[in-house]
């Protein structure tokens, strides 16, 4: 159908505010998205709303208009809070709108660590200057700053800021434990945090600040998304991972990751070919053609077994990747050992 095939866009936004009746907001939001034929995911909670939706350009611009005029978000949400990229309704399998405890799943009660205790927001320009300064100091081995990626390992693997510390964690809900286990590392440091669109930093910085060990905590306002709009060839190298069927969006031609099998530069994810595994795998076209399509040998084996199995039997999501990875890594780096290479 012609309507769906036109290039549309995907919007990413969040708004922290007091929501008295999350159920009511949820129903309104669902009706709005359905009316505009938008697909995607929207999380509603008593602490606000977080969404990523796709549709035609007409639909997304109407959506922004309506969102900005909604009394709940008035004076809090503004046009700049919507990050957009090329895409459309086809980027998501369906529309999911639901009520949750947190609008970003960190696993810490918002009453205990509130978004109100967040770090200092830096504009992309300010952040760029900070990173520039950090990188020049780090090469002389005398930096008091940590550039912290708040995302998951599979996100930072295909794109990140030069010289960043990227935790090897699988979910944002492991981030608080990561901070707890590595508190020494952050002692008396200035921390520059970043994530995709800024939302994980809101809670992540609040959590880090609650530990009272850092000298200062800063965060990139609008996330990598907004940074790349201003500095497509800045200090962020590689692709930007997105949580939809596109997997990644690109601002520069750099490839910073490699094929899991042959090591050739490659950064386009596919889902592991083993039916019940949800891991993403980097496997280049030539390795794919050789049938190397699973995330690890365990899954590759499992796939062969599954085809000969009676249907109806399900396999637990268990593979070498999930078994080998510690939930929360302990860092043994002095920050000056961090890779500041271009």
- By annotation, the residues acting in catalysis are 195
Please, is 211 exposed, middle or buried when counting C-beta atoms within 10 Å of its C-beta (0-12, 13-18, 19+)? middle
Closest by alpha carbon to 180, among 105, 106, 103? Answer: 106
Closest by alpha carbon to 110, among 219, 202, 220? Answer: 202
Distance between terminal CA atoms of the chain? Answer: 45
Residue for token pair 């790349």: 228
DSSP string, 59-73: HHHHHHHHHHHSTTT
Q: Please report which helix (H) or strand (E) contains residue 251, including its range.
A: none
C-alpha to C-alpha distance for 102 and 44, rounded to whole angstroms: 8
C-alpha to C-alpha distance for 132 and 42, rounded to whole angstroms: 35
**Are residues 227 and 124 in contact, defined by beta-carbon separation less than 8 angstroms?**
yes
């Amino acid at each position: 159908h012609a309507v769906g095939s036109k290039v549309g866009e995907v919007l990413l936004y969040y708004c922290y505010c007091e929501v008295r009746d999350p159920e009511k907001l949820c129903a309104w939001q669902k009706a709005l998205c359905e009316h505009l034929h938008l697909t995607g995911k929207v999380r509603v909670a008593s602490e606000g709303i977080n969404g990523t939706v796709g549709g035609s350009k007409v639909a997304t611009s109407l959506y922004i208009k309506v969102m900005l005029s909604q009394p709940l978000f008035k004076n809090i949400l503004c046009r700049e809070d919507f990050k957009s990229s090329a895409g459309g309704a086809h980027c998501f399998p369906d529309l999911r709108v639901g009520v949750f405890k947190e609008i970003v799943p960190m696993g810490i009660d918002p009453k205990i660590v509130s978004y109100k205790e967040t770090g200092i927001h830096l504009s992309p320009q300010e952040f760029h200057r900070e990173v520039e300064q950090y990188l020049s100091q780090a090469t002389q081995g005398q930096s008091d700053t940590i550039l912290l990626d708040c995302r998951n390992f599979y996100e930072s693997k295909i794109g990140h800021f030069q010289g960043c510390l990227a935790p090897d964690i699988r979910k944002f809900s492991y981030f608080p434990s990561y901070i707890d286990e590595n508190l020494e590392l952050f002692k008396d440091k200035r921390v520059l945090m970043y994530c995709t669109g800024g939302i994980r930093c809101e809670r992540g910085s609040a959590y880090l600040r609650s530990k009272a060990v850092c000298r200062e905590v800063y965060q990139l306002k609008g996330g990598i998304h907004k940074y790349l709009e201003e500095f497509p060839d800045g200090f962020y190298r590689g692709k930007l991972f997105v949580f939809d069927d596109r997997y990644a969006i690109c601002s520069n031609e750099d490839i910073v990751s490699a094929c899991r099998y042959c090591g050739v530069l490659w950064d386009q994810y596919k889902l592991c070919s083993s039916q019940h595994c949800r891991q993403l795998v980097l496997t280049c076209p030539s390795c794919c053609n050789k049938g190397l399509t699973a995330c690890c040998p365990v899954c590759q084996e499992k796939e062969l077994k599954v085809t000969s199995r009676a249907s109806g039997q399900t396999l637990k999501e268990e593979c070498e990747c999930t078994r080998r990875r510690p939930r929360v890594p302990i860092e043994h780096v002095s920050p000056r050992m961090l890779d500041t290479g271009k």
